[in-house]
């Protein structure tokens, strides 16, 4: 399958227009995820979305090593430059002294000598124990503090200077925070990763980010149907059961999942679906490589947005915060109670 590429405006680099997600949450073991990455590479994916907090970089690194050495049966050796590997800095490693070591640990676990992209996973240094209650609030949690974020960002810039990472970027950042970063950075973010699926399109923000020459990667592109119970609320909607998605799937003779991915491709962003099943891995890739949506289908899908954010981030809330909306600067301002303001 010929996987299309997008050009990263910041560098002219080519990034595969579909990536493979690797967040196994509670239900996919690290070894199962490694096996899924083998299937993905065999299917033709070359863009793998990793993160230290997913806890499986060592197992994925072993697969990448095997793939580059030509040790995977039925798959010739893959050159390093043909892979696009993304890593992410977890929230407990934002301190200036922690960024470099956390990055190097990921690099070592992944068995690589550079990453294609390194993202700040969340713009908050807020750490919570794995699998903690969704309503738990860590006493050390704090809101976004721009000066602190810039200290973290400057460490990422140094990784670019050192030739250890080709691009740096943001994840889960809002327009208000992005504007501050663009104002103060030396090296601009090349990529923003954010939740995007037909029921959560963030149209205005996506256009804004793209107008800044920043590539948009969309996570939970299928609406994360198997996410854990703790990440579900009764008002959540199901993209793949939307009548318009189902009707367009029927017209294309494909699964509704494929329609979600075709919508992402037509929308100009890069989806990073996860699957553990060979059939789905292959059909997801095919969805962005062949049989695109018509203009009319794309426009119909644009109208089914429900503003349904699935990954709300409640566990990152600080003591005085109201609800999860406080993480997303919905009125364009960044909430920061006085006690957190740096004198």
Ligand X SMILES: NC(=O)c1ccc[n+]([C@@H]2O[C@H](COP(=O)([O-])OP(=O)(O)OC[C@H]3O[C@@H](n4cnc5c(N)ncnc54)[C@H](OP(=O)(O)O)[C@@H]3O)[C@@H](O)[C@H]2O)c1
For the CB of residue 310, give the shortest distance to ligand X in the complex, in Å.
8
SS3 87: strand
- The neighbour count for residue 64, using CB atoms within 10 Å, is 22
DSSP strand pairing (5-7 vs 14-16):
antiparallel
Q: Based on the shown chain and the rule CB under 6 A, indicate whether residue 21 belongs to the binding site for ligand X.
A: yes
Closer Cβ to ligand X, 76 or 253, answer by number = 253
Instruction: Point out which residues pair with 21 in neighbouring strands.
Output: 49
* Residues tagged active-site: 54
> Which member of 91, 201, 284, 314 binds ligand X (CB under 6 A)?
284
Q: Are 58 and 109 in contact (CB under 8 A)?
A: yes
- The neighbour count for residue 7, using CB atoms within 10 Å, is 11
Q: Based on the shown chain and the rule CB under 6 A, indicate whether residue 227 belongs to the binding site for ligand X.
A: yes
In the numeric block, the tokens 């990055």 are attached to 103
Q: Based on the shown chain and the rule CB under 6 A, indicate whether residue 250 belongs to the binding site for ligand X.
A: no
Residue ranges of E strands in 196-338: 215-219, 270-271
For the CB of residue 18, give the shortest distance to ligand X in the complex, in Å.
11
Q: Are 32 and 23 in contact (CB under 8 A)?
A: no
For the CB of residue 57, give the shortest distance to ligand X in the complex, in Å.
12
Site stretch for ligand X (CB under 6 A), options 3-11, 135-143, 177-185, 280-288: 280-288
Residue 116 is encoded by which pair of tokens?
């294609």
Site stretch for ligand X (CB under 6 A), options 55-63, 101-109, 146-154, 272-280: 272-280
Burial of 145 (0-12, 13-18, 19+ CB in 10 A): middle
Q: Based on the shown chain and the rule CB under 6 A, indicate whether residue 277 belongs to the binding site for ligand X.
A: yes
> Which member of 15, 41, 220, 259 binds ligand X (CB under 6 A)?
220
Closer Cβ to ligand X, 52 or 148, answer by number = 52
Site stretch for ligand X (CB under 6 A), options 8-16, 65-73, 77-85, 218-226: 218-226
Q: Based on the shown chain and the rule CB under 6 A, indicate whether residue 22 belongs to the binding site for ligand X.
A: yes
For the CB of residue 85, give the shortest distance to ligand X in the complex, in Å.
12
57-116 residues in contact with ligand X (CB under 6 A) are none
Residue 62 is encoded by which pair of tokens?
């072993």
Residues whose CB falls within 8 Å of the CB of residue 165, separated by 6 or more in sequence, listed in order: 87, 103, 114, 115, 116, 117, 118, 156, 159
Give me the residues that bind ligand X (CB under 6 A), please.
Answer: 21-23, 49, 121, 171-172, 193, 219-227, 255, 257, 272-277, 280, 283-284, 311
């Amino acid at each position: 399958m010929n996987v299309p590429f997008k050009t990263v405006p910041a560098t002219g680099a080519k990034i595969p227009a579909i990536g493979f997600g690797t967040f196994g949450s509670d239900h996919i073991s690290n070894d199962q995820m490694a096996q899924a990455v083998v299937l993905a590479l065999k299917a033709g994916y070359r863009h793998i979305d990793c993160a230290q907090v997913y806890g499986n970089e060592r197992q994925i690194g072993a697969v990448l090593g095997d793939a580059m050495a030509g040790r995977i049966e039925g798959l010739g050796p893959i050159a390093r430059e043909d892979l696009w590997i993304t890593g992410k800095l977890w929230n407990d490693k934002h301190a200036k002294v922690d960024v470099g070591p956390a990055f190097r640990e990921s690099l070592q676990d992944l068995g690589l000598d550079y990453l294609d992209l390194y993202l700040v996973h969340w713009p908050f240094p807020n750490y919570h124990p794995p699998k903690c209650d969704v309503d738990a609030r860590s006493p050390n949690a704090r809101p976004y503090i721009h000066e602190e974020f810039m200290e973290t960002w400057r460490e990422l810039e140094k990784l670019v200077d050192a030739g250890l990472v080709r691009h740096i970027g943001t994840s889960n950042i809002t327009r208000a925070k992005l504007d501050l970063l663009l104002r103060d950075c030396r090296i601009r973010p090349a990529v923003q990763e954010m939740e995007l699926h037909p029921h959560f399109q963030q149209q205005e923000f996506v256009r804004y980010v793209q107008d800044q020459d920043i590539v948009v990667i969309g996570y939970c592109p299928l609406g994360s149907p198997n996410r854990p119970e703790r990440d579900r609320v009764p008002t959540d909607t199901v993209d793949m059961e939307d009548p318009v998605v189902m009707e367009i799937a029927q017209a294309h003779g494909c699964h509704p999942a494929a329609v979600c991915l075709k919508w992402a491709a037509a929308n100009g962003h890069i989806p990073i679906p996860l699957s553990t099943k060979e059939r789905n891995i292959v059909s997801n890739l095919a969805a962005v490589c062949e049989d695109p949506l018509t203009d009319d289908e794309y426009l119909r899908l644009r109208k089914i947005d429900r503003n349904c954010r699935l990954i709300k981030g409640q566990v990152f809330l600080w003591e005085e915060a109201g609800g999860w909306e406080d993480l997303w600067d919905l009125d364009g301002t960044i909430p920061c109670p006085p006690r957190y303001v740096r004198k």
